[in-house]
Amino acid sequence: MSEPLLSVRGLRAKVDGEDGEILRGVDLDVQRGEVHALMGPNGSGKSTLAKVIAGHPAYEVTAGEILFEGEDVLELEPDERSRAGIFLAFQYPAEIPGVSIANFLRTAVNSRLAEGEEMDVFGFQRTLTEKMEMLKMDPGFAARYVNDGFSGGEKKRNEILQMAVLRPALGVLDETDSGLDIDALKIVASGVNRLSEADEALGVLLITHYKRILNYIRPDRVHVMMAGRIAESGGASLADKLEAEGYDWLHRAVAAV
């Protein structure tokens, strides 16, 4: 079997300069073309895992490794990880006033090209328009300042738009479903499915604490995170069990260990 797209091994991490560990030994493999759902109660460390994978400087990795396409990425800066093919759709995307989405994305696309090379402006515009149509976004959206004054739903859609334009090998989607009404949820889910269809090797780590989105994006694997560890992994049916029974049975199981 080929090496996993993403391989997280014994990962421990804490906030830089503080004591308490947030991630307490995470193991997780995502193969190319697979969709993994990561569920778990609030505060269990899901977003921390996502940000550590993307290289957020606020966290310190104290043990373990993160391999992406077989390469250790822990020493890479966030921008290097991005250019290598890791994409994080943020749970709380930052606002960048004064910078239009089009300008921002063009800069991001150009950062992937060789020094001095630039994507043709019309080609870029075409791609952007096409992806915006896919996500049923108003064409005027591209001129708006990145996340500035966006509603929760607009922010989430904007994250998926960026993923669609940047075409990563791995998309880590952190609660992209929360705050979306059912119509918006369907649009975002079908956007992600279209990306998976267009790129069969695309790996997705879908972080959510609701089962709802899993009705539209079928996961190959479901993991449950509890107190900084993967407490349980299973097939799609695990999500159904969580939906029906909540996390209590897992709490008890974790406590018993």
Partner 1 sequence: MPRNETITELGLDEYKYGFVTEDKPVFKAVPGLSEDIVRQISHHKEEPQWMLEFRLKALEVYYSKPMPKWGGDLSKLEDTLDEIYFYLKPQDQMERSWDDVPQEIKDTFEKLGIPEAERKALAGVGAQYESEMVYHSLKEQWEEQGVIFESIEDGLAKHPELFRQYFSTVVPTHDNKFAALNSAVWSGGSFVYIPKGVKVEIPLQAYFRVNAERMGQFERTLIICEEGAEAHYIEGCTAPVYSTDSFHSGVIEIVVKKGARFRYTTIQNWSNNMYNLVTQRALVHEEAKMEWLDGNLGSKLTMKYPSCYLVGERAHGEILSIAYAGDGQHQDTGGKVIHAAPNTTSQITSKSISKGLGRSSYRGLCKVYDGAEGAKSNVECDALLLDETSRTDTYPYIEIDENTASIGHEATVSKVGDEQLFYLMSRGLDEAEAMAMIVRGFIEPVAKELPLEYAIELNRLIELEMEGSVG
Pick from ligand ADP, Mg ion, partner 1, none: which does 166 bind, CB < 5 to 8 A by kind?
partner 1
Q: Does 12 bind ligand ADP (CB under 6 A)?
A: no
The number of residues that bind Mg ion (CB under 5 A) is: 2
Q: Does 47 bind Mg ion (CB under 5 A)?
A: yes
Strand order, beta sheet including 170-174: 86-89, 170-174, 203-207, 35-39, 221-226, 229-234
What is the token pair recorded at 198?
A: 């267009």
83-102: contacts with partner 1 (CB under 8 A): 83, 87-88, 90, 93-99
Stretch that binds ligand ADP, among 35-43, 128-136, 149-157, 179-187 (CB under 6 A): 35-43
The residue assigned the tokens 């018993």 is 256
DSSP 99-126: -BHHHHHHHHHHTTS-TT----HHHHHH
Within 224-243, the residues that bind partner 1 by CB under 8 A are: none
Residue 85 touches which of partner 1, Mg ion, ligand ADP, none (Cβ within 5-8 Å per kind): none
Tell me how far apart the alpha carbons of residues 186 and 191 are, in angstroms, rounded to a whole number. Answer: 8
Which residue in 5, 8, 22, 184 binds ligand ADP (CB under 6 A)?
22
Residue 51's contacts (CB-CB under 8 Å, 6 or more residues apart) are: 58, 59, 88
Smallest gap from Cβ 71 to ligand ADP, in A, equals 25
- What CA–CA distance (Å, rounded) separates 62 from 21? 9
Least Cβ distance, residue 235 to partner 1 (angstroms): 31
The first and second tokens of residue 213, run together, are: 């989105």
Q: How many chain residues touch partner 1 (CB under 8 A)? A: 32
| Element housing 155 (H / E) | helix 152-166
- In the complex, the residues that contact partner 1 under the rule CB under 8 A are 51, 54-58, 77-79, 81-83, 87-88, 90, 93-99, 104-105, 107-108, 111-112, 145-146, 162, 166
